A = this chain, B = another copy of it.
Amino acid sequence: MGTHSATPPRGFPVSEFEDRTARAQRLMAEARLDALLLTTEPEFRYFSGFLSQFWESPTRPWFLVVPAKGKPVAVVPEIGAAGLRDTWIDELRTWPAPRPADEGISLLVDALKDQTSTHGRIGVPMGAETHLRMPLSDYTRLHDRLPGTHIIDAAPLVRRLRMTKSEREIDKIRHACRVASDAFEALPDRAQTGMSEREICRGLKIDLLERGADTVRYLIAASGPGGYDNIIMGPTDRTLDHGDLLIIDTGATFDGYFCDFDRNFAFGEIDGATLRAYETVYRATEAGLKAARPGATAEAVWRAMWAVLEDGGALGNDVGRSGHGLGMQLTEPPSLMPGDDTVLEAGMVITLEPGMAFAPGKLMVHEENIVIRDGAPELLSRRAPAAIPLIG
């Protein structure tokens, strides 16, 4: 691949949303669905292009109805009208929110009734890794006001659509990955023993923003003598000392798309068991890179990595999987794990995240971000060094 050094353009041309909607409508026709009802930020944004940080406020629900034909219809609080008018969406139905007695439900009932004359079936994502972003009592009310309408789980449909990324989406993820790779590589020059996890992470977060990340929604750290015991907490005020192993994992975004990978750092001397664990997990990633081909299952890629880890003395892995999809969310389907029979296709963006406990209470986890291509995958993160970086 080329050097891809320029910042990609923001947003998408209308054709991107037309394609997404047309693909959805083909799957909806197969599933005999009259409409999709979507309530979460990534689902709403995928079909509308509406990118706002306002989802941070839980007060108001936002609804998008994808009909069997034509453009999506947005049923949204008035506060969102100005932003929605800048998207490709034509039809806005707004209410003066907050209005707890009728938080958009009457409008939504009407919008759905307009669509459900053919099959009487609406798709709502309700399966694995989804949730409904509206009060449960309002959902019950909605259901009661659509008698005779069947509500079907649309999680598999939405998952299938979003799992394969367009080149424009990949460009955004690649940019987030490049920014994070640069920042991780610069970290040893800024960090030293005596600093706390929190200080190191604050510096890294600032560096990520200076290099072009829009947000740093996820940046955790864990450390300990020769190993760490988790990969989802911190950073804490723990001070780094000689012999410590530090992991930092970050999900920074560019234009609403995430990178998600980690790096390990050794402070002063590091013991042999930790070095061997690093090498094992590095080799597991290599095995993942060889296995991640179109046609392979998510489980097969897990198996290729796990064989290396097991051979290297893995005691277990409480992460539960060794990689996952990546895009508008920090983690997306599929999961690289036993039982996930998703067949990889060109354009899928995934993490390879082999990890293991190599001693009681000591984990070693690596992570890279890749896009499945015909032939070998393209690395989006710059490959971690084969030998663990040592910080003086």
Residues of A within 8 A of B (CB): 10, 52-54, 56-60, 77-83, 86, 96-101, 103, 124, 126-137, 139-140, 153, 155, 202, 205-206, 209-210, 215-220, 229-233, 237, 251, 318-321, 324, 329-331, 335, 337, 339
Whether A10 contacts B237 in the complex (CB less than 8 A), given A58-B331, A337-B98, comes out as yes
Q: Are A103 and B128 in contact (CB under 8 A)?
A: yes
Q: How far is the CB of A142 from chain B (nearest CB, A)?
A: 12
Q: How far is the CB of A315 from chain B (nearest CB, A)?
A: 13
Whether A131 contacts B135 in the complex (CB less than 8 A), given A82-B229, A318-B81, comes out as yes
CA separation between A329 and B155, bound complex, in Å? 28
Q: Are A57 and B136 in contact (CB under 8 A)?
A: no
The chain B residue with its CB closest to the CB of A134 is: B131
The chain B residue with its CB closest to the CB of A51 is: B233
Q: Are B58 and A321 in contact (CB under 8 A)?
A: no
Q: Are A320 and B209 in contact (CB under 8 A)?
A: no
Q: Are A320 and B53 in contact (CB under 8 A)?
A: no
Question: 9 A-B residue contacts at CB 8 Å?
Answer: A52-B220, A58-B331, A78-B320, A80-B232, A86-B233, A98-B337, A205-B209, A206-B210, A215-B217
Q: Are A79 and B232 in contact (CB under 8 A)?
A: yes
User: Could you say which residues of chain B place their CB within 8 Å of the CB of A216?
Assistant: 215
Q: How far is the CB of A349 from chain B (nearest CB, A)?
A: 15
Q: How far is the CB of A294 from chain B (nearest CB, A)?
A: 23
CA separation between A343 and B19, bound complex, in Å? 51
The chain B residue with its CB closest to the CB of A126 is: B136
CA separation between A6 and B128, bound complex, in Å? 44
User: Could you say which residues of chain B place their CB within 8 Å of the CB of A318?
Assistant: 78-79, 81, 96
User: Could you say which residues of chain B place their CB within 8 Å of the CB of A81?
Assistant: 318
Q: A53-B220, A59-B129 are in contact. List 18 more A-B contacts (CB 8 A).
A: A56-B217, A56-B251, A59-B324, A79-B231, A79-B318, A80-B232, A82-B230, A83-B232, A86-B233, A100-B128, A101-B339, A103-B128, A124-B136, A126-B135, A130-B135, A130-B136, A206-B206, A215-B217
Q: How far is the CB of A200 from chain B (nearest CB, A)?
A: 13
Q: How far is the CB of A340 from chain B (nearest CB, A)?
A: 8
The chain B residue with its CB closest to the CB of A58 is: B129
User: Could you say which residues of chain B place their CB within 8 Å of the CB of A128?
Assistant: 98, 100, 103, 135
CA separation between A97 and B81, bound complex, in Å? 39
Q: Are A202 and B209 in contact (CB under 8 A)?
A: yes
Whether A58 contacts B131 in the complex (CB less than 8 A), given A79-B318, A153-B137, A337-B98, comes out as yes
The chain B residue with its CB closest to the CB of A217 is: B56
CA separation between A319 and B131, bound complex, in Å? 26
Q: How far is the CB of A152 from chain B (nearest CB, A)?
A: 11
Q: How far is the CB of A257 from chain B (nearest CB, A)?
A: 14
Q: How far is the CB of A89 from chain B (nearest CB, A)?
A: 14
Q: How far is the CB of A295 from chain B (nearest CB, A)?
A: 23
Whether A233 contacts B320 in the complex (CB less than 8 A), given A57-B330, A130-B135, A209-B202, comes out as no
Q: Are B233 and A83 in contact (CB under 8 A)?
A: yes
Q: Are A132 and B131 in contact (CB under 8 A)?
A: yes
The chain B residue with its CB closest to the CB of A363 is: B82
Q: Are A77 and B320 in contact (CB under 8 A)?
A: yes
CA separation between A250 and B54, bound complex, in Å? 11
